[in-house]
Amino acid sequence: MARRIVVLTEGHTNPHTAKTASCMIRYKRDEIVALLDSTQRGKTTGELLGVGGDLPVIGSLAEAPPADTLLLGIAPPGGKIPAPWRAIILEAIERGMGIWSGLHDFVSDDPQFAAAAAARGVLLVDVRKNNERGVARRVGIRSDCLRIHTVGHDCSIGKMVASVELAQGLKRRGIDAKFIATGQTGIMVEGDGLPLDCVVADFVAGAAEKMVLQQQHHEVLVVEGQGSLVHPSYSGVTLSLLHGCVPHGLIFVYEIGRAVVTGVDHVAIPSIGKLLKMYDMMANANFQCQILGIAVNSRRVSAAEAAAERARVRDEFGLPVCDVIRDGADELLDAIVRFRDTARWREWNASPPS
Amino acid sequence: MARRIVVLTEGHTNPHTAKTASCMIRYKRDEIVALLDSTQRGKTTGELLGVGGDLPVIGSLAEAPPADTLLLGIAPPGGKIPAPWRAIILEAIERGMGIWSGLHDFVSDDPQFAAAAAARGVLLVDVRKNNERGVARRVGIRSDCLRIHTVGHDCSIGKMVASVELAQGLKRRGIDAKFIATGQTGIMVEGDGLPLDCVVADFVAGAAEKMVLQQQHHEVLVVEGQGSLVHPSYSGVTLSLLHGCVPHGLIFVYEIGRAVVTGVDHVAIPSIGKLLKMYDMMANANFQCQILGIAVNSRRVSAAEAAAERARVRDEFGLPVCDVIRDGADELLDAIVRFRDTARWREWNASPPS
């Protein structure tokens, strides 16, 4: 039986902070019965987040349709639970709902939540909780599984959405593709994956490599990127993942109008050209990798502005460019399939047998 | 009263694996009474590790001079306790010695060790244990504290030693310098610092930044580097640290004869020239930083070979080059002081007040 989920975004229902909510509504609409934010009561998620159409925004759990799960729908910097949410979480537990969280602050480690959940017999699931302790060894990696990795110029710009759309698009073309989730929202959407940003630093690349080893029976892996190589707080997660998943091809993701780093607003993001050089250099440090295309996120601009930017960037870098939501992913899918058909990547990144 | 330490390297007394032992003997010789390795009994650490002169290698704790601490003296990939060590650790606890460990496998979390230590009233200290949960914000960083950072082409090549020697050399010149320890051995030597490779990935840069904020009353910080930008397992730790400590100047460290990556022997290390370009690009991603010099580790070659390499590299890159142990650090110290005196770095990397 499918879950019936209320998504909690109380006080934070905007597309940026409520990234987890938006993506779950985009990809798991049939499991979600309502969004809870008393400050936006009576609106729809279509109005507030641009996804979900007429999915209702309710003001309290008492107004919710029957539901078995409360999903914490935000991903704030540092991953802390907003203080006003505690009472709502406790009320959900008392109503017999399980809690599904992707925050760094683990709900299952909170004594009050844990006691309430034990008393009521409900589950507290922390998607980020892990005990990964394997180092990357770059051994046993199949040479005929094509690995595509999304990278970008900042956090929260659509790397996960681009990855899901590419994997789904490849599947529609009859290719056995698998989305490899590396963050809390992707894991909730896909039902598997590892939360790399919450792994102990020495083992992040190892965790990425482990997912590749586990899933390389598929023909193509599309590995969700994290952060960016220039994010002052998270660049190391980005590089561990880039080196851990040993990709053959990169899709560079950026958002039009994003000029400064998320959460560190006084730091400017370098130009696309400079970033492409960085990713190219770091991805070719000791394996071979090619940038295959650019996924532009144009949600903040008009269709005409998006089209002009798309043409300009395609022209400047000689790469296929599209907004996977606005334009569909076909231009990038064509590029990935063309690259796959060259077969030359099969000679790249060969690793010793395990 | 000073500690009296027995260093345990049982079965692993070589300069590479016993890095923690070597560095503690180099910098804390007066606190160490013996090295324990039954497979090397009767030799000296001078013979086996090239440090400590006639410091004796003993075959069992029963042979040790009076001592209050057993220090686990290795840093293996993944940081696990070798199985044969368990009996030695338990014997030390029974003899009333505290345990000092830098491994990822925490001795204080081991039920058997914890029970024995509680019964005997001794301390189990895990240098890597931490609960860092702050993200880097790049705020409140003093513009007139000069930050020097050592980086390199691999693990275990002498970044920590170079950092300590540079900080000590600056102090001898009357400059208020502070060594910032970022790994287990450095922390044991200096008595403070944070074990960045054991911090949850999202918070590594934040932990590096925290040390800068805490110590920036000093005139110069020399921040110990970790791993390398091209290490398949640990590159993310390197980049988090590089971006978290916001250095003005880098010292590049490499070892002559090191051609393949530590622990991933089928992967080649790129050339010095390629690595200098990578560090330069990544360190200038969104702040300004200059490579000031090169510390060559020449322990595996003759004095003549070392001198030839030093001249060749100095010529190729136009940078000061020395082996801080063999030649002394003066050439690099001169470069750092010249750079400091230009004062132009004071206009770099300014951050908003906290």
pLDDT digit string, tens, across residues A127-138: 999 999 999 999
Q: Where are the beta strands (DSSP E) in A154-248?
A: 177-180, 220-223
Q: Where are the beta strands (DSSP E) in chain A?
A: 5-8, 32-36, 57-58, 69-72, 98-101, 124-126, 146-152, 177-180, 220-223, 249-255, 260-261, 264-268, 290-297, 321-322
Nearest beta carbon to residue B138 from set A136, A232, A241: A232
DSSP state for residue A18 in the 8-state scheme: T
Per the prediction, chain A carries an average pLDDT of 96
A241 to B238: CB separation less than 8 angstroms, yes or no: no
pLDDT at A25: 97
Which secondary-structure segment (H or E) carries B8? strand B5-8
pLDDT at A1: 58
pLDDT at A76: 76
Average pLDDT over residues A237-264: 97
Whether the per-residue pLDDT at A339 is higher than 90: the answer is: yes
Task: Convert the pLDDT of each residue in A161-211 to its tens digit.
Answer: 999 999 999 999 999 999 999 999 999 999 999 999 999 999 999 999 999
DSSP state for residue A136 in the 8-state scheme: -
**Euclidean distance between CA atoms B225 and B182, whole angstroms:** 7
Average pLDDT over residues A326-334: 98
Task: Convert the pLDDT of each residue in A111-154 to its tens digit.
Answer: 999 999 999 999 999 999 999 999 999 999 999 999 999 999 99
**Euclidean distance between CA atoms A62 and A45, whole angstroms:** 19
pTM over 0.90: yes
Decide: helix, strand or coil at residue B328.
coil
**With an 8 Å Cβ cutoff, is B198 touching chain A?**
yes
pLDDT at B1: 58
Question: Is the separation of the CB atoms in B165 and B267 below 8 Å?
Answer: no
A236 to B234: CB separation less than 8 angstroms, yes or no: no
**Euclidean distance between CA atoms A228 and A235, whole angstroms:** 5
Task: Convert the pLDDT of each residue in A77-110 to its tens digit.
Answer: 777 899 999 999 999 999 999 999 999 899 999 9
**With an 8 Å Cβ cutoff, is A229 touching chain B?**
yes
Give me A204's structure tokens: 């992040």
B104 to A202: CB separation less than 8 angstroms, yes or no: yes
pLDDT at A79: 77
**With an 8 Å Cβ cutoff, is B353 touching chain A?**
no
Enumerate the β-bridge partners of residue B105: none
A229 to B282: CB separation less than 8 angstroms, yes or no: yes
**With an 8 Å Cβ cutoff, is A79 touching chain B?**
yes
Contacts of B285 in chain A (CB under 8 A): 229-230, 235, 270, 278
Q: Which residue of A182, A235, A271 is the best one to mutate when testing the B interface, meaning the one whose CB has the most B CBs within 10 A?
A: A235
Q: How far is A45 from chain B (nearest CA, A)?
A: 30
**With an 8 Å Cβ cutoff, is B249 touching chain A?**
no
Window 9-48 of B: residues touching A by CB (8 A cutoff) are none
**pLDDT per residue of chain B (354 residues) written in tens, 0 to 9:** 579 999 999 999 998 889 999 999 999 999 999 999 999 999 999 999 999 999 999 999 999 999 999 999 997 777 789 999 999 999 999 999 999 999 989 999 999 999 999 999 999 999 999 999 999 999 999 999 999 999 999 999 999 999 999 999 999 999 999 999 999 999 999 999 999 999 999 999 999 999 999 999 999 999 999 999 999 999 999 999 999 999 999 999 999 999 999 999 999 999 999 999 999 999 999 999 999 999 999 999 999 999 999 999 999 999 999 999 999 999 999 999 999 999 999 999 889 998
Window 272-291 of B: residues touching A by CB (8 A cutoff) are 277-278, 281-282, 285-286
Question: Is the separation of the CB atoms in B88 and B8 below 8 Å?
Answer: yes
Contacts of B136 in chain A (CB under 8 A): 232-233, 264
A351 to B266: CB separation less than 8 angstroms, yes or no: yes
Q: How far is A289 from chain B (nearest CA, A)?
A: 14
pLDDT at B15: 85
Q: CB within 8 A of A207, min separation 6: which ones? A: A130, A132, A134, A194, A196, A199, A244
Decide: helix, strand or coil at residue B158.
coil
pLDDT at A93: 98
Contacts of B239 in chain A (CB under 8 A): 229, 235-236, 238-239
**With an 8 Å Cβ cutoff, is B183 touching chain A?**
no
Q: How far is A152 from chain B (nearest CA, A)?
A: 14
Nearest beta carbon to residue A235 from set B234, B243, B351: B243
Write the burial class of residue A156 (CB in 10 Å: 0-12 exposed, 13-18 middle, 19+ buried).
Answer: buried
Nearest beta carbon to residue B204 from set A77, A201, A351: A201
Contacts of A234 in chain B (CB under 8 A): 135, 201-202, 205
Q: What is the ipTM of this complex?
A: 0.96
Give me B81's structure tokens: 């306790």
Closest Cα in chain B to A226: B202
Contacts of A272 in chain B (CB under 8 A): none
Closest Cα in chain B to A104: B133
